[in-house]
Amino acid sequence: MYNITDLLGTSIAADEEDPWHLPLILFFLAAVATNSLYMLSRWNNLIAAIISTRFFTDDPRIQADTVQFFPGEEPHVTIQICTYNEGRVVEETIARACSVDWPWNKLSVHVLDDSTDLTCVQIVSSAVANWNERGIDISRRTRPNRKGYKAGNLFHHFDSVQSEFIAMLDADHRMEPDFLRRTIPSFFDENGNTKDEIGMVQAPWGYYNAEQNFLTRCDALALDIHHVVEQTGRAAAYGCFGFNGTGGVWRKAAIKHGGGWSWDSVTEDVALSYQAYLKGYRFIYLRDIPQLLEVPGNILAHIQQKHRWTKGFFQVFRHSYWSILVSRKAGAALKFEAFCHLTGAIQYTALMIALFLYPILVLHGIDGPFVKGASLFPIVEPFMSGIVTCYAKHSGPEGQYRCFLSRTRRLAMILPHIALNAAMCLFRTKAVLEGLFSSDVTFLTTPKEGISDERKKVNPLRSANKVVRKLADDITAVGGLALGLHQLLFIMVYDVHHPWNDGFEAAIRLLNMLLCCSLFWVNSSFLIEKHKWARNLSHVLRRLYRLPLMLCASRTVNSSIQLSASDWWNIYFLSKLYFHFRGLMNLSALWNLLLLAWIRVPFPNGLGSNKGLRQRSLAKVVFDMVLSFLLLWRETWFPPLLEVMKFWLNPVTRPTGDAFEMYLQDNLSFREIAAVATIVWLVLTARKYRMRMTSAAIALLCLVAMANLVRSMRIPSSSRIKNDVAKFHEAEALKRVQFPSTPGAPVDIIVLHVCSLAWDDLDAIGKKDHHFFDWFDYMFDFNTVTGYSGPSMLRLLRSSCGQQAHGELYNEAPSECYLMDVLRRLGYDVSSTMDHDGKYDDFLEEAINLGHAAESVRPEGLPVEQVGFDGSELSDPDVVFDSWLAKRSASNAERAAVYFNTLILHTGSHWKGETEWWKNRDPMKEYADRVDRVFRLVKAIGDKFEKTGRSAAILVVPEHGAAIRGTKIQNAQLRDLPLPRIVKSFFGVRFIGPSFPKHPASTVRVEGSLSYMAIAEVIANTVKDPARAAGSLPYNSLTRTPFIAEQTRGTVVYRDGDYLLQTKDGGWMALDSPDLAPADRNKIL
């Protein structure tokens, strides 16, 4: 007789009398066939996403258009925000929508509020009124009832929209400022003509609470896979995909032609997408502009959201798939993709069935190669999609997965994500049945907590939102627990009869155990979250679990809490590991392992008297402590120890006591203190229960060593980068700015060199887009190269040549490199002035000797306004400028140039006579006030000089940033490392006087990699032909300088899309997003 098990390649003959053989085989084959069907679709999307992203990065279906509108030509856009009792998050969403970069007269914001909670109504009304007062066209729109829920809300207010384009936002959607600037151009061609066939543009999602807990990390990865792989793949392959309900822009005509918003399903967005596609519209998916929203932070909200999506997809399948199937506008491939898309929830059920059936099949004698391969085959595609998502360039919000290591760490979430989706199978199956056979279209809004990653992490079992109340859901959860228990028993029996012979056996056990744990976790969490009796039962079981350990420990463990030497070393190494994983230090795993091994080696007995042995042991302990301190300092981001000691021992450079206390107040992190205290508590607990923490430290150090090895493989070799930097300096040494032999019309040159101002500082205090910058005629991107005042001053005074290496600044340069000497030769009366004495770090002396600046004309006896961090006296910069201007007015010189240096922004200074000024201070507010004063100073300089009737080019050039906010590798107000967030700034030019008859209509912003040489070129152009310099000169042709920032402490280079920092040991590491400038962080997003 023909044996069906032969088709499966089984090595054991089937027992024909076993009634389970045929049903099990058929059931298994059905699960495998179902998975294979959906795998065709998913593999197609994955390959299309990889190809379009890797090889066709300019594909208009997945890449933002570069069309730019002229001012006033932007189309009118309406932003619709749907909300229902979501007061925790909607206020921020309204603020983001009203702050979008779009002309206010071309923007309307409609808050479609179905809220019944009076508090939420009050929050929305207050926010709308607030933004109305600011001039935004915003309104809160309501309706008599909630008919149709969200879809009904959109339908009810559809006719009130007068715009051609409608941006859709959910209540938790935090729109980025450039959202409309990057989406609306996709509806137009390069000539500005509308592309009528484009019906919708969708942006991907980012998540502001992705790191809230384990559940949000899994959910964020799952949603990233949806956007990075599925949506990108569908857009690239078909130009058709499902609208995500938020974060997209619709053409109003497409909604109307697609039949409008319909509430015959709870996923009205997907239904409208397919109907609009069948009417001839195509969609664009912009993969590089993620918008932040919230993922469910507790299991109830997670289950409710996935239940609604699954149910809605099958409702759309029931109502709309026939029209897709018979449509001639949809090809066969799209019809298949639409089927797999709308019914995709089945695949995870089939995946779990295939994995769960394997141990049962083996116990029934069916264990051939086909069974093994078919059991693991469904895992391959989700795993590959997860890997592609983790390493996609646009993965994660705000650049949080920018660096290689952070993406690699995320790989650990792939299997839990697969297990979590499979564990939801019973809830999804219930949703499938409701979608196919139920007419219920009740739309349950996902509860929002408004919790971001920066706030405290919340356990997913804690939530006040009890949103699921059906008995059927309780039965489903109990069924999930029963399924997990049943499978756990089968795995135990299987484990007894089948040893771990190969990697496949280990993998199948791991996956099944992971699925069992997921089933227990998801379903028990659901019941605990929902019912008080379940919570009480969980507390009892937790105490019963701890009881044996406590009873056992009480008999054998010394209750003393004194720490031994071994405990202190465990605290030392575990604390360093914590700081390493937090990014606060660059741990050298190999050196720490060697140190640990050395510490564990005792002095042998029998080497003299006990007293001598104790002395030698004490000497070793002291030596170990010194060695460990030196290694610790080497691994931190602090300057080298000898430099710090030299700094503190020098009475000129040593900061005052109050300045040091201010620094501690601003940078002392109680979070890190609490973390070290927790480590101490863990070591004490481990000692109490006789747990070996040293072994844990060794294991973690080995993991760090492997992670460092993987990270180093991504970065080019140190010698290669060093050679590239050397070639850069060789090329820069040949560059010269061409000044005219004879100057044009008389123009004064005023260079205002301002300490402590960068884009990141302005972004921190909310002044990056301040109207002050409209005062300039031209604004230029600018790399200050250094984080210190002295080197910045020398680079500016030597800006007539290319960028020098840091060490070369203190050597003599060619004569044509000195800016002030060049101006002297052109007939300029050159002078210098500053609002400080210039003694700190020999600033004035270096300016004169190394920069060839003029002697300072700052008059003696000016009133002291502030005291610097080093105790030096600072004058009012307005008075200092008035003093120079008076001398200039009395001068008969036809042309004059002044270098004006000011410390008005330095955060270490304070008002004269102020005592205990560092206490109860707000550094951000204090810095913001100082910035406002700089803005007033610059405008006052322009106004005062304009009254003289002379012409002048006023250049405002920052020395470096203030580092007003710190990062993991460098505390606030420290600038020892020239990070991009410190050196990326601007310089602005304002032309004043009769020599400049023509000015730009508005501020011209020149982007690109510009440095000091560009400043000299602007001055040269101004001296040569002032009228052309102010009105028609193409400043985009200024010399570009590749980004390299360098000073004594470190070097940062830009290479292949990454900013690389040279570490103390001479190696290189890629910088994470917080260390970058705001523009680079936005590029990561």
Find the catalytic residue in 65, 113, 114, 763: 114
Beta strands at 1058-1062 and 1051-1055: parallel, antiparallel or unpaired: antiparallel
DSSP secondary structure letters along 274-315: HHHHHTT-EEEE-TT--EEE----SHHHHHHHHHHHHHHHHH
- Residue 1080 annotated among the catalytic residues of the structure: no
Backbone phi and psi for residue 288, each to the nearest 5 degrees, phi listed first: -105, 10
- Residue 269 annotated among the catalytic residues of the structure: yes
Backbone phi and psi for residue 113, each to the nearest 5 degrees, phi listed first: -105, 115
What is the 3-class SS of 152-184, one letter each residue?
Answer: HHHHHCHHHCCCCEEEEEECCCECCCCHHHHHH
Beta strands at 291-293 and 205-207: parallel, antiparallel or unpaired: parallel
Sign (positive/negative) of CA torsion 524, 527, 528, 533?
negative
Give the amino acid at 867.
Answer: V
Residue 709 CB coordination number (10 Å): 10
Distance CA 686, CA 268 (A): 55
H/E element holding 952? strand 952-958
Distance CA 1020, CA 1035 (A): 12
Give whole-number Cα distances, 817 to 269, 357, 731, 768, in Å. Answer: 63, 78, 15, 33
Q: What is the total residue count of the chain?
A: 1085
Check: CB of residue 318 under 8 Å from CB of residue 235: no
Give the amino acid at 50.
Answer: I
Beta strands at 864-867 and 873-875: parallel, antiparallel or unpaired: antiparallel
Question: Which residue has tokens 């967030």?
Answer: 981
The residues facing 201 across adjacent strands are 249, 284
For 607, the token pair is: 């080497």
Distance CA 455, CA 18 (A): 59
Closest CA to 205 of 336, 78, 315, 305: 305
Give whole-number Cα distances, 747 to 421, 663, 956, 1034, in Å. Answer: 71, 44, 16, 20
Cα 645–Cα 647–Cα 653 angle in degrees, nearest 5: 155
Distance CA 173, CA 275 (A): 25
For 414, the token pair is: 């792939």
Burial of 386 (0-12, 13-18, 19+ CB in 10 A): buried
Closest CA to 21 of 36, 8, 33: 8
For 54, the token pair is: 């890797």
Find the catalytic residue in 65, 172, 219, 269: 269
Distance CA 219, CA 421 (A): 9
For 755, the token pair is: 């300490």
Check: CB of residue 841 under 8 Å from CB of residue 790: yes
Query: Helix, strand or coil for residue 216?
Result: helix
Closest CA to 49 of 381, 451, 367: 381
Closest CA to 47 of 232, 287, 243: 232
Query: Helix, strand or coil for residue 757?
Result: coil
Give whole-number Cα distances, 535 to 142, 424, 528, 538, in Å. Answer: 39, 21, 5, 5
Q: How many CA atoms lie within 13 A of 722 on its CB side?
A: 9
For 375, the token pair is: 């059991």
H/E element holding 1079? helix 1078-1084
Taking each continuous run of H as one helix and of E as one strand, the counts in the chain are: 37, 23
Task: Supply the residues annotated as catalytic.
Answer: 114, 269
